[in-house]
Amino acid sequence: MQLDITGEEYRILLVDDHKLIMEGIRSLLAPYAHLRVMGMAQCGGDAVALAASLNPELLVLDLHMPDMNGIDVGYAVREVLPRVRILIYTADEEQRFLPELIELGIAGHVRKSEAPSALLRGIEEVRQGRPYLTFPDPRGRMAKLIQQSLIQDDSFHDLSTLSPREKEIFRLLADGKSIRTIAESLFISRKTVETHKYNLFTKLRVESVGDLIKLAIRYGLVKV
């Protein structure tokens, strides 16, 4: 099964002690240009180092590795990237780790016994801010807990804290306008625009204009 899915680039880091499995995931995602595998790690230490250097948006994470278990890896990566989303991909058929995984704040959980399409759909659901589980959850209790975590992640970027001028400059930056063009169009100095840009980065907790563009698209402030 293949999904007709497109969108902005979504950066993914794969973490599994079996390289063959990660190569299989890379091949599964290859037809979808927006699902970009940034790197692969076979142990927890490498996962943390790669997360710090590659800045992925999603961690596809196994539970069992030689140096650290998946839960510890998840927390360690979160120390570096607090808002990275985590999708567990595991051969473990039991649900004994679920309370700890919910506390960690996972966005999804896929068993390796499922068809590859389940992982593909799981990644896409998580990318769009929805929880995804492949184990029985008849009352939807676990899904609700995961959804609450995802909502908290989204509220991390609170546009209500922006002033009218900051929102205006946010839209112009996201629309690809340069500092000089914005200054001239708003009849303000470049330094003032730079100050507003810095305030935007601080309030929205982003690190680049590219991050601003992604937020603008998510909230419908610009068209693609």
| pLDDT tens figures, 154-176 | 545 567 778 889 989 998 998 88
**Count of CB atoms within 10 A of residue 36's CB?**
13
Same fold across 10-155 and 159-218: no
Confidence band, pLDDT 50/70/90 cuts, at residue 223: low
Per the model's pLDDT, the better-predicted residue between 158 and 37 turns out to be 37
- Residue 216 Cα distances to 12, 43, 166, 192, angstroms: 21, 35, 13, 21
Q: What is the pLDDT of residue 151?
A: 46
Two tokens, residue 31: 């037809």
Mean pLDDT across the stretch 31-40?
94
Q: Where in the chain does DSSP place strands (E)?
A: 10-15, 35-41, 58-61, 85-90, 108-111, 132-133
Confidence band, pLDDT 50/70/90 cuts, at residue 224: very low
| Sheet (strand 35-41) strand order | 35-41, 10-15, 58-61, 85-90, 108-111, 132-133
Q: Is 39 helix (H, G, I), strand (E, B) or coil?
A: strand
Alpha carbons within 13 A on the beta-carbon side of 139: 3
Q: What is the pLDDT of residue 193?
A: 94
Per the model's pLDDT, the better-predicted residue between 57 and 219 turns out to be 57
Sequence spans of domains, the chain? 10-155, 159-218
Residue 169 burial by CB count (10 A; 0-12/13-18/19+): exposed, middle or buried? Answer: buried
Confidence band, pLDDT 50/70/90 cuts, at residue 35: very high
Cα 220 from chain centroid (whole Å): 18
Mean pLDDT across the stretch 120-127?
91
Q: What is the pLDDT of residue 51?
A: 92
> At the topology level of CATH, where does 10-155 sit?
Rossmann fold (3.40.50)
Q: What is the pLDDT of residue 118?
A: 93
Query: What pLDDT, in 10s, does the model give residues 67-98?
Result: 888 899 999 998 888 788 999 999 887 766 77
Confidence band, pLDDT 50/70/90 cuts, at residue 149: low
| Among 39, 47, 43, residue whose Cα is nearest residue 23 | 39
> At the topology level of CATH, where does 159-218 sit?
Arc Repressor Mutant, subunit A (1.10.10)
